[in-house]
Structures are given as structure tokens and as C-alpha cells.
Structure 1
């Protein structure tokens, strides 16, 4: 990558003398991801991949839904094994690749992945709901647009003890470079958190590690200007823990490595600020949401619709 066309051409010419390469020009379709030019930037779309996925599941003509996960839980979950676990695993594995351009699917797909070893009929119903949501959003993709700001800001959130099976929490984060979403995650935490503050602090530690890597990459590319990254968290206890050692006597059960965040704050690499729950963009990665709330957050994550090519 670069903005010096003659230098790029010289590099490609030099590589071609040693390796058998071909310059394909402007990217159009790569590894199932289509790059669509828009007036305000680029759109990354996997429409063909989604159509193929629905066809493999036998759901090309299914009825679409507005959200990938239901807010209500099953009253009496079934333990009846699904008759075709191989099909379940193949489809869930394919859905994981789809989250490259569809962050709005991250939470639902992460939940499905937790039952790969022994899926039940209930898990198959959850999978079909995700596919029905995809059916209604085939024209959606990830929008990338020019940004005047080079600053990094990230949102982290956690759903404390949200899993009814083992009471582990789910962490989620969204990292923006300027106005563009560049990294996101939805993942169940490895240990049980004994307080909401601990669960939120673990999520902060995850996003801190990710932001540290992104800053390192931008420095190598000469695109980092030294401004500290801003992390947004909706738990006051967790934000206080990042800077105030007085609170540590109450949180000795929090593992030492999570204080990695504090070290980054002390070094002025990060600024941790409080954000209200209604403005918490990472909320979509930690729990199922009602339709209006889900659509609002999806729009803010730069997941937008595009017009399919003829």
C-alpha cells in the first residue's frame, strides 16, 4: 500500500523479475469478498457467499427476520441431539467467515460456536434464525469511507454472567480508526467473573491488547501520529480501576495480567472514559437485542446496504 504510484510500479517490476506474479489492478473480488466502489468510499460485500450458504442449508426461499438472535430464552431447553451434527458444524464454520464483513453477526455466531461438540435441536433452531436474518440482509456489507481523523477509539462491553449454562460473561469490543470500524470481537470469557466490574475490566483488557497491536501496525506503516487511543466503557468501577489504586484492595481476585490496562493508562497510551449504556456500541456483541436497538447499533458500526450489481 502507498500513495506513490511510480514506487509501487517499480516494486512490482522488481518482484516480477524474481517471482511469477501478475498485477490484477484494482481489487474487485477476492476470497469471496467483493469490493464495491461507492460515492463515499468502498463497500465490502459477501453477497454471493451468503447466497451459497443459504443454498447449502436448503433455505434459499426462507422467510427473513430482522434480528439474528431472539431476546427471549427457551423456557425448557431440549437435550435432544440434532440428527446431523456434521451439517451444523459446516454451516457454523461458514458463518464464522461471514463475520469478516458482517460484525452484526458476531454475537449470534459466537454463541452457535459454543455448541459445535454436541449440537441439539434447539441449537439448530438458533442457527436457522441466523440464516433467516441473513436472507433479509443479503445486500448489507461493511462500508469504508475516507476519514479526516487518524485517532483510534474503541468501545468495550461485557454481559455479566450472561450464559445460563456456566455463568461466564461475554466480552465484546469495537475498534474504530477515525470513522471506520477496523476490528471487533464477541467472545465468552474463559473464567467466571465475580462482579460486573471484573467482567467489564476483562473486556477492557481484551480491547487494550487489540488496540496495542493496531497502534504497532500503524506505526510500521507510518500512519500513527502519537495521539493516545480512547477506550469507552459503560462501567464506572472499571474506569476507576484503570487509574485509581485505592480500589485494588477490593479487587484482589482480579488476575494480575488485567492490570495491563492500568500500565497503558499510566504511560498515556490510552485514555479510558465512561460512556452511557445507550451510547455503548459494543452492546451488540454481548447479548441479543430488540429489533430497534439492534438496527441502531448496526448502522453505527458501518454495516450498510448497497445496490446489487446486475
Structure 2
């Protein structure tokens, strides 16, 4: 990658003298991802792949829904076992690849993956809901636009003890370079958090590790602005912990995560700031949301619908 076309062409010539390579030009379709020119940028779409998933599930003509997860119900492993677990695993695995361009599906797919070992009829119902949401959003994709900014900012959130089965928390984060979303995760934490501050701090540690890797990559490409990355968290306790070593005596159970984030803050690599829950973009990765809230956050994550020019 680079902005010097002569240097790129020279590199390609040198490589072609040693390896058999072919320049395919501008990207169009690669590994199931379609690259579309859209609104002064690119739209990464997996519409064809989504249609294939719907065909596998036998839901090509299903009715569309506005969200992939309902706010009112939560799956529990007490229902009748699903009679075709292989089909469940196959479709859930396919949906996992779909999250490459659809961050709005990350939470729902992460929840479905937690029941791969023994899915029930209720889990199959949740899977069908995700497919019905995909049916209604076939034209959505991840929008990338040119940017002169290379500052890194990330949103981190955790839903404390949100799982009714084991009371583990779900963490999520969204990392932006300039205006573009380039990394996101929805993941259940491995241990039970004793407080909301601990759950949020574990999430901060995860996104701090991701941001550290991205800074290293940008430095290698000579694109890093040199400014510290900004992490946004909606928990005041976790925000204070990142900046105030006095709190350490009260939080020995999060000592490793504490030291990792604190070292990054102390060295000036990271800045941890508070953001209100209403402005917390990572909220979409940790819990089911009402339609209006879900669609608003989806839009802020640069998930847009492709509209060809007339």
C-alpha cells in the first residue's frame, strides 16, 4: 500500500522478475467480499454470500426483521434439543464470516456461537431471527472513505453479568482510524466479574491490546500521527482506575489488566476518557437493543446501504 504509483509499479516489476504474479487492478470481488465504488469511497458488501446463507437455511423467501436480536428474551439451555445440530453449526459458522463487513451482526453471532455444542430449538429460533434480519439488510455493507486523519480512537463497553447461564459479562469494542471503522469485537469474558468496574476494565484491557498492535502496524507503514490513541469508556470507575494509581489497593482481583492499561496510560500511548452511555458506540456489541437505538449505532459504525447511481 502507498500513495506513490511509480514506487508501487517498480516494486511489482521487481517481484514479477522473481515470482509469477499478475496485477488484477482495482479490487472487485475477493473471497466473497464485493468492493463497490460508493459515495467517494468504497463499500465492502457480502450480499451474494448472504443470499447463499439464506439458501442453506431454506429461508430465501422469509419475512425480514429490523434487528437481529430481540430485547425481551434470552436463550437458556433448558429447551428441547434441536434435531439437526450440524445444520445449526454450519449456518452459525457461515454467519461468523459475514461479520467481516457487518459489525452489526457481531453480538448476535457471538451469542449463537456459545451454544454450538448442544443447540436447542430456542437457539434455532434465534438463528432464524438473524437470518430474517440479514434478509432485510442485503444491501448493507461497510463504508470506507478517504481520510487525511490517522488518529486512533476506540469505544469500549461491557454488559456486566449479562449471561443468565453463567453470569459472565460480554465485552465489545470498536476501533476507528480517522472516520473509518477498522476493528471490532463482541466477546464473552472468560471469568465472572465481581463488579461493573471490573467488567469494564477487562474490556479496556482488550481494546488496549488491539490499539497497541494497530499503532505498531501504522508505525511500520509510517502512517502513525504520533498522537496517543483515545479510548472511550462509559464507566467512571474504570476511567478513574486508568489514571489514578491510588485505586490499585482496592482492585487486586484485576491486577494484571490494571497494570497493562496503566502502563500504556502512564507512557502516553493511551488516553482513557469518559463517554456517556448514549454516545457509546460499542453498546451494539454487548446487548440486544431496541430498533431505533440499534439502527442509530449501526449508522455510526459506517454500515451503509449501497445505492447505485442513476
Q: Give the TM-score normalised by structure 1.
A: 0.97
Distance in 1, Cα, partners of 2:202 & 2:144: 29
Moved more, 238-247 or 297-306: 238-247
SS in 1 for 2:272: strand
Match of 1:212 in 2: 212
Cα drift, residue 69 of structure 1: 0.4
SS in 1 for 2:50: helix
Cα drift, residue 230 of structure 1: 0.4
Distance in 1, Cα, partners of 2:290 & 2:218: 36
**Contact 2:77–2:120 at 8 Å: present in 1 too?**
no
Q: Does 1:156 align with 2:139?
A: no
Distance in 2, Cα, partners of 1:219 & 1:232: 22
Distance in 2, Cα, partners of 1:63 & 1:276: 35
Q: Does 1:45 align with 2:45?
A: yes
Cα drift, residue 181 of structure 1: 0.3
SS in 1 for 2:155: strand
Instruction: For structure 2, list consecutive stretches of 5 or more residues without a partner in the other structure.
Output: none
Alignment of 1:160-179 (within 5 A): 160-179=160-179
Distance in 2, Cα, partners of 1:14 & 1:148: 30
Match of 1:242 in 2: 242
Deviations 1:66-102 (A, max 9, x none): 0000101259864311100000000000001000000
Distance in 2, Cα, partners of 1:238 & 1:17: 55
SS in 2 for 1:254: helix
Match of 2:98 in 1: 98
Distance in 2, Cα, partners of 1:140 & 1:8: 32
Aligned length: 310
Deviations 1:261-304 (A, max 9, x none): 01000001011000000000000000000000000000000000
SS in 1 for 2:192: coil
Cα drift, residue 5 of structure 1: 1.2
**Contact 1:174–1:282 at 8 Å: present in 2 too?**
yes
Superposition misfits of 4+ residues, deviation over 3 angstroms: 74-78
Distance in 2, Cα, partners of 1:188 & 1:194: 15
Instruction: For structure 1, list consecutive stretches of 5 or more residues without a partner in the other structure.
Output: none
**Contact 1:99–1:105 at 8 Å: present in 2 too?**
yes
After superposition, the Cα gap between the structure-2 partners of 1:74 and 1:99, relative to the gap in structure 1 and judged at 3 Å, is closer
After superposition, the Cα gap between the structure-2 partners of 1:199 and 1:92, relative to the gap in structure 1 and judged at 3 Å, is same
